[in-house]
């Protein structure tokens, strides 16, 4: 019995003793400190690891501690757990913030060291069954902590002053590169991994504010990180240019490209594969924001606003823009994860019975029943994702497609709108396409009522977000019909047509179809429309078409330069960016001199310089490239003028003087007399 009791005591150590042992084991786990406090953190970690044998003996004790011993162990456990928090901050915290808050961090160090030293100083060693060898090791740790408590080991002042000068912008601009070099080395921010981890740490620090406004302080810290990041990447060509990423090109090789900031996930800083919109309107990579939410956060990482819900909506427009950018840069478009989406709950028996009844009515010879059933399915599919999946799984898609050729325009309208609502669910897109839906949807787009035509356009937009479907849709005659709707539809219809055309024209083969269908004059009409209606959509499409040779020619023929220059100066950030992109394409073709001269006449240099300083990242790049071309053009024009002037001066010196002007009195009265003086014309 005694042996059983002793075994039981070994298996169930006192809670405080277990806390001490667990804390020491956690510190012993591998980890790395890559920040300004590396020396201090390593020293603290090493001293705690020296308590390892002590923790082992605590676990192997044969009798439980007394009340006084339990209190001493609890005090030591509290000190060790506080030390663990500090070590975790050293491993995972923002390196920039740790230096910036030097005084507060060093106060925490001193508190931890003092608490540990006091816990070991008051420890009742004689009351515990601890070996002499282990006790000597613990006393050694105590002596080290005592010396550390009396000596403050601060990071060097130059390091701190460098960071503060950048933060407050009080540094000498000529010393900026030297400061950034020192900071990147001392902060251990020398690799893409380091820079990404620091960015994530700043996001986490904002999140820990409990949803409060992060304010100017965080913005300045982010600015500091960006400065260091750009410096490091500029000075390490193998890492690529600032904000560059190694991305697979279409030949399967890796290449360094500058990824626009708006295409990067704010959390991972990588090119987004599956961008989704959260409740606050911000966009993130799906896997990153799902991980953020799964870890218990309820705020938006960027704005720190509390999210009303955790719904993630696919950002189809941005995904299409990313695909277009990838195609333009000759790199492989990022592929979304092939992992299946979360399974939707199965339809209940009553729901399935209701849907089956409606599908039976769709097959009815009675037009009234068909119409009412299509209308009900339209509403059901609009309601939620669960219904969309259930309706599709019940076999509704082929039946709805059969109604798209109905002579009853109202039935046709309900059917195409039901298909539109079903297509919103990712899993249904493939089913709709494999059913051969596109020709029937295009038939409605050409021949249906105006509402049916507009909903058909929206259906094509929804389906065309999948890259391989762009090719299939473009080959069915959809593009000319969409161009017609863009001309004739209501404001909503025009918007849907423009969105579908934008998506389809991301595929190079569809650009020529759209241009030949007369899209460019329509778009230019929208660009010059004084109301500004659909300006954003028009400029996005124009930017895509300008990269196509036929598109460039068609745009150039429409004399777009004055309107584009005006947009460069007064448009929205996105429209200014697209205007610069279109101008850059125009000024690089056969007619480049014509467009460069016209742009110069319209005063393009001033808005271009402003865009190069204050535009979006893509806008800045386009503006800089265009400024270089404009500058070369202006210099060439000046050189030609000077050359012509010198040539004229030289000619004037070589040629004989012109005869003096003939006076009127020298002119004979009759020019034909005498006639023999003039040759006879034959």
Quick one: which of 174, 177, 176, 227 has its CA closest to 198? 227
**What value does the mean pLDDT of the chain take?**
79
290 has pLDDT over 90:
no
First to last CA, the chain: 147
- Mean pLDDT, range 194-202, rounded to an integer: 72
pLDDT for 109? 87
Q: How is 3-37 classified by DSSP, letter by letter?
A: HHHHHHHHHS--HHHHHHHHHHHHHHS-----STT
Q: What is the CA radius of gyration of the chain?
A: 37
Confidence of residue 668 (pLDDT cuts 50, 70, 90): very low
Select the more confidently predicted residue: 650 or 618.
Answer: 618
pLDDT for 206? 55
Confidence of residue 71 (pLDDT cuts 50, 70, 90): confident
CATH number of 349-435: 1.25.10.10
Sign of the four-CA dihedral 461, 467, 472, 476:
positive
Confidence of residue 29 (pLDDT cuts 50, 70, 90): low
| Tokens standing for residue 464 | 């065309």
Confidence of residue 487 (pLDDT cuts 50, 70, 90): very high
417 has pLDDT over 70:
yes
Confidence of residue 241 (pLDDT cuts 50, 70, 90): very low
93 contacts 200 by C-beta, under 8 angstroms: no
CATH number of 261-329: 3.30.40.10
518 has pLDDT over 90:
yes
CATH number of 436-551: 1.25.10.10
Which residues partner with 246 through β-bridges?
A: 256
Judged by average pLDDT, the poorest of 59-63, 532-536, 563-567 is 59-63
Select the more confidently predicted residue: 36 or 107.
Answer: 107
Sign of the four-CA dihedral 571, 318, 301, 194:
negative
Give Cα separations from 478 to 70, 118, 446, 471 (angstroms).
79, 79, 9, 11
| Distance in angstroms (rounded) separating the CA atoms of residues 432 and 465 | 13
Confidence of residue 2 (pLDDT cuts 50, 70, 90): very low
Judged by average pLDDT, the poorest of 104-108, 220-224, 337-341 is 337-341
What does the angle CA 81 – CA 86 – CA 90 come to, to the nearest 5 degrees?
140
Percent with pLDDT over 70 in the chain: 81
What distance lies between CA 321 and its chain's CA centroid? 11
pLDDT, tens digit, 9 for 90 and up, residues 145-173: 888 887 766 666 777 788 788 777 777 77
Map 606-672 to HEC letters: HHHHHHHHHCCHHHHHHHHHHHHHHHHHHHHHHHHHHHHHHHHHHHHHHCCCCCCCCCHHHCCCCCC
| Distance in angstroms (rounded) separating the CA atoms of residues 221 and 166 | 10
324 contacts 316 by C-beta, under 8 angstroms: no
Confidence of residue 205 (pLDDT cuts 50, 70, 90): low
454 has pLDDT over 80:
yes
493 contacts 450 by C-beta, under 8 angstroms: yes
415 contacts 406 by C-beta, under 8 angstroms: yes
353 has pLDDT over 90:
no
Domain 349-435 matches domain 436-551 at the CATH topology level: yes
- Mean pLDDT, range 443-453, rounded to an integer: 94
- DSSP structure class, residue 271: B
| Distance in angstroms (rounded) separating the CA atoms of residues 62 and 32 | 36
pLDDT for 131? 79
pLDDT for 279? 79
pLDDT for 42? 84
For residue 54, how many other CB atoms are within 10 A of its CB?
23
Domain boundaries, the chain: 16-155, 158-205+218-235, 261-329, 349-435, 436-551, 559-649
Residue whose structure tokens are 């609890």: 74
Q: Which residues contact 87 (CB under 8 A, 6 or more apart)?
A: 27, 31, 41, 44, 45
Torsion angle of alpha carbons 381, 384, 387, 391, nearest 10°?
Answer: 30
């Amino acid at each position: 019995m005694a042996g059983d009791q002793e075994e039981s005591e070994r298996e169930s150590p006192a809670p405080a003793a277990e806390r001490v042992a667990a804390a020491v084991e956690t510190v012993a786990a591998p980890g790395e400190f890559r920040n300004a406090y590396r020396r201090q953190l390593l020293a603290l970690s090493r001293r705690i690891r020296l308590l390892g044998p002590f923790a082992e003996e605590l676990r192997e004790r044969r009798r439980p501690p007394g009340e006084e011993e339990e209190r001493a162990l609890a005090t030591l456990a509290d000190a060790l757990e506080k030390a663990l928090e500090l070590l975790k901050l050293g491993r995972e915290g923002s390196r920039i913030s740790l230096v910036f808050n030097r005084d507060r961090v060093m106060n925490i160090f001193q508190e931890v060291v003092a608490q540990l030293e006091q816990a070991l100083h008051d420890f009742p060693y004689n009351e515990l069954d601890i070996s002499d060898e282990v006790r000597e090791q613990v006393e050694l740790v105590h002596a080290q902590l005592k010396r550390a408590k009396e000596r403050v080991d601060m990071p060097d002042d130059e390091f701190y002053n460098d960071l503060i000068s950048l933060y407050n912008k009080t540094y000498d601009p000529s010393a900026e590169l030297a400061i950034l070099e020192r900071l990147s080395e001392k902060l251990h921010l020398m690799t893409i991994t380091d820079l990404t981890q620091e960015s994530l740490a700043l996001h986490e620090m904002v999140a820990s504010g409990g949803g409060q406004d992060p304010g100017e302080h965080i913005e300045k810290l982010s600015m500091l990180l960006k400065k260091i990041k750009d410096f490091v990447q500029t000075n390490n060509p193998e890492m690529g240019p600032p904000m560059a990423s190694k991305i697979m090109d279409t030949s399967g090789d890796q290449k360094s490209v500058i990824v626009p900031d708006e295409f990067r996930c704010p959390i991972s800083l990588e090119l987004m594969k599956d961008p989704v919109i959260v409740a606050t309107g911000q966009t993130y990579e799906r896997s990153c924001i799902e991980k953020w939410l799964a870890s218990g956060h309820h705020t938006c990482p960027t704005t720190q606003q509390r999210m009303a819900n955790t719904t993630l909506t696919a950002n189809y427009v941005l995904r299409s823009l990313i695909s277009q950018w990838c195609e333009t840069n000759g790199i492989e478009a990022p592929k979304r994860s092939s992992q299946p989406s979360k399974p939707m709950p199965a339809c209940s028996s009553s729901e399935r019975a209701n849907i089956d009844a409606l599908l039976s009515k769709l097959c009815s010879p009675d037009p009234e029943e068909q119409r009412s059933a299509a209308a009900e399915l339209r509403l059901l599919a609009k309601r939620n994702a669960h219904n969309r999946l259930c309706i599709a799984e019940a076999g509704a898609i082929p039946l709805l497609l059969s109604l798209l050729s109905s002579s009853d325009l109202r039935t046709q309208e309900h059917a195409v709108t039901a298909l539109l609502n079903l297509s919103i669910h990712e899993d249904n897109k493939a089913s709709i396409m494999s059913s051969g839906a596109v020709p029937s949807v295009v038939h409605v787009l050409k021949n249906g009522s105006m509402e049916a035509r507009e909903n058909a356009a929206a259906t094509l937009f929804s389906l065309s977000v999948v890259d391989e479907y762009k090719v299939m849709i473009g080959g069915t005659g959809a593009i000319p019909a969409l161009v017609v709707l863009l001309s004739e539809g209501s404001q909503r219809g025009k918007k849907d047509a423009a969105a579908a055309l934008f998506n389809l024209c991301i595929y190079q083969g569809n650009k020529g179809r759209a241009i030949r269908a007369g899209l460019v004059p329509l778009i230019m009409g929208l660009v010059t429309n004084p109301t500004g209606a659909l300006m954003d959509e028009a400029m996005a499409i124009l930017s895509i078409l300008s990269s196509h040779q036929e598109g460039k020619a068609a745009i150039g023929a429409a004399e777009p330069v004055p309107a584009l220059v005006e947009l460069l100066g007064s448009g929205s950030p996105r429209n200014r960016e697209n205007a610069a992109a279109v101008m850059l394409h125009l000024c690089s073709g056969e007619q480049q001199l014509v467009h460069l001269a016209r742009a110069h006449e319209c005063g393009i240099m001033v808005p271009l310089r402003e865009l190069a300083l204050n535009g979006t990242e893509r806008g800045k790049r386009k503006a800089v490239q265009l400024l270089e071309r404009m500058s070369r053009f202006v210099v060439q024009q000046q050189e030609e003028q000077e050359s012509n002037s010198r040539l004229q001066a030289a000619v004037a010196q070589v040629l004989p003087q012109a005869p003096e002007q003939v006076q009127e009195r020298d002119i004979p009265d009759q020019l034909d007399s005498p006639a023999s003086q003039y040759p006879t014309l034959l």
